[in-house]
Amino acid sequence: MKQETTKTNVLIVGAGLAGLSAGKELNKLGMNYTIVEATDRPGGKVWSRQSQKGEYSFEMGAQFINPDMTEIVELIKKTGMTLVKTIDSAHSVHIDDEKNVPIDSIIDEATQTFEDIELKKDQPLSKGYENINDEWTNDVLRSTLTEFVNVNIEDLSSIGVSSLLDSYDSDGDDMTHQSSGPLKNVVQYLENLSKSVIHYKNPVQSIKKTEDKYVVQTESGQVYEARALILAVPPTAASRIELSEELANHYQPLLDSYTDGAVIKQSLVYNHPFWHAFFNDEKRVKGVIYTQSIGFNLSDTTTETSQPRLTLFIAGDKAKELARLTREQRDIYVMSRLVEVFGTDAQDYIDWNEDIWVEHPYYGGGYGAQLVYGKDPYAGEKLSKVFDKCIMANTEVAPKFKNFMEGAIRSGQTAVKEISQLL
């Protein structure tokens, strides 16, 4: 049976934060629009889950905020929530798993390394570490950066990662605050603004450009016609959509310049923060960088109002490797790494939650996709611009705060600003 064609002024592909934020802006302008979403829920990599007894929630994906991320802060306040501080101390330090010594100065060096790279010519990111002869120091830097980008650094563009770092428009740490309640409340707030025009379980199969409109067909056979198009999905997801020749010639080389990140996120809740007593002096452990398992990092994510909590971020090839195991096998591996550093106190958890962001067909993996060395290192900048009446909107092409919730929101806002001028 032939599906009826839905006609709309602007079609938004994707109901993550970027797509929902674009819908919010179109609402303000009074413009007709429709959102198609491949999955059965909004939010993309923003997803909250309640504990079994419902007394607290876990953020399965995006979680951390700082006050300079003004758009997500405003949305949190609109839903009746507030920012709460992630507990820290002037004496809090990161340590490594091998020597168990403070390594914050080395972590700072990881983000400064790129100043020494000649950015007129793209290079593999690993070039930044060629002059570091000490194997332990090199492993600290590699593990720190692998967790940050969620991809093995040997594969990445130095210009691309430099652009990612430059987009972080704040002097504050990215984990200083969290929401007082589940971030699904923000997603639901945005969803309610567009609820009547969101079509779920509707993966886009093909996009064709005719003289005056875009014709979009979904895997279910539904057809949409729109004057303008906002692709609010990760570049890697967009790369799998069949594009007509004109669109493919422009977009495909840019989309293919990205590779997906990969991360497994595990959170453990405890009655007591035993890691605060790791040192015999006033120093307090706030995180562990694992040099024996590159990309395996641990953070104290306890807030002023929560029970003590440790969160593990397992990234890159290590995430892909562990994702192939059963949950029981992963838990054994993870707990072994915790016990190596903290002893058997790590086994006394009261709750343990996990989510896997590896090779998801619609959300991508990790915090965001990254630019690959050997492709177009300026693909993000080009994708952020309008082509005909089509534009990308995702955290990867955001003007500020790439790979954060803030970036996704701002990219949706920017996309509407650009498109609305053409309609």
pLDDT at 155: 83
pLDDT band at 170 (very low <50, low <70, confident <90, very high): very high
Could you tell me the CATH number of the domain that includes residue 386?
Answer: 3.50.50.60
209, 237: one domain: yes
On the question of pLDDT at 351 being above 90, the answer is yes
Q: What is the pLDDT of residue 107?
A: 85
- 117 in a structural domain: yes
Instruction: Answer yes or no: is 10 within a domain.
Output: yes
**pLDDT > 80? residue 341:** yes
Token pair, residue 376, equals 């177009």
pLDDT at 157 over 70: yes
Give me the sign of the Cα torsion angle 410, 147, 360, 41: negative
How far apart are alpha carbons 73 and 66 in whole angstroms?
Answer: 8
pLDDT value at 1 more than 50: no
**From CA 57, how far away is CA 241, in angstroms rounded?**
35
Bridge partners, residue 309, by sequence: 269
Task: Show the beta-strand stretches assigned E in 219-278.
Answer: 223-231, 242-243, 258-259, 262-270
Residue 152 inside a domain? The answer is yes
Same domain, 43 and 112: no
Q: pLDDT per residue over 212-221, tens digit each?
A: 999 999 999 9
Averaged pLDDT for residues 238-265: 97
Please indicate, yes or no, whether residues 296 and 162 belong to a single structural domain of this protein: yes
Same domain for 165 and 278? yes
Q: What is the pLDDT of residues 49-97, one digit of tens each?
A: 998 877 889 999 999 999 999 999 999 999 999 999 999 888 899 999 9
Looking at the structure, do residues 148 and 12 belong to the same domain, yes or no? no
Going by C-beta distance under 8 Å and a sequence separation of 6 or more, which residues neighbour residue 352? 266, 267, 268, 269, 331
Considering the domain architecture, whether residues 11 and 43 belong to the same structural domain is answered as yes
Residues 268, 167, single domain; the answer is yes
368 falls within a domain: no
Same domain, 24 and 138: no
**Residue 2 pLDDT:** 59
Task: State the CATH number of the domain containing residue 313.
Answer: 3.90.660.10
Q: Is the pLDDT of residue 114 over 60?
A: no
Residues 266, 251 share a domain: no
Torsion of CA 174, 178, 184, 188, to 10 degrees: -90
User: What domain range is 339 assigned to?
Assistant: 87-174+261-358
Task: Specify the number of domains making up the chain.
Answer: 2
pLDDT single digits (tens) 284-307: 999 999 999 999 999 999 999 999
pLDDT of residue 343: 97
Is 106 inside any structural domain?
yes
* 313 within a domain of the structure (yes/no): yes
Do 21 and 166 lie in one domain? The reply is no
Q: Is 68 a domain residue?
A: no
* 21 and 153 together in one domain: no
- pLDDT top residue among 113 and 94: 94
Digit-coded pLDDT (tens) for 367-388: 999 999 999 999 999 999 999 9
Residue 188 belongs to some domain of the structure: yes
Q: In whole angstroms, what is the distance from residue 23 CA to residue 197 CA?
A: 9
Q: Which two tokens stand for residue 400?
A: 């500020």
| Cβ pair 114, 126 in contact under 8 A | no
Mean pLDDT is lowest, of 103-107, 181-185, 189-193, 314-318, for: 103-107
For the record, the structure tokens of 109 come out as 């060096």
**Does one domain contain both 161 and 307?**
yes
* Residue 319: CA count within 13 A, CB half-sphere: 31
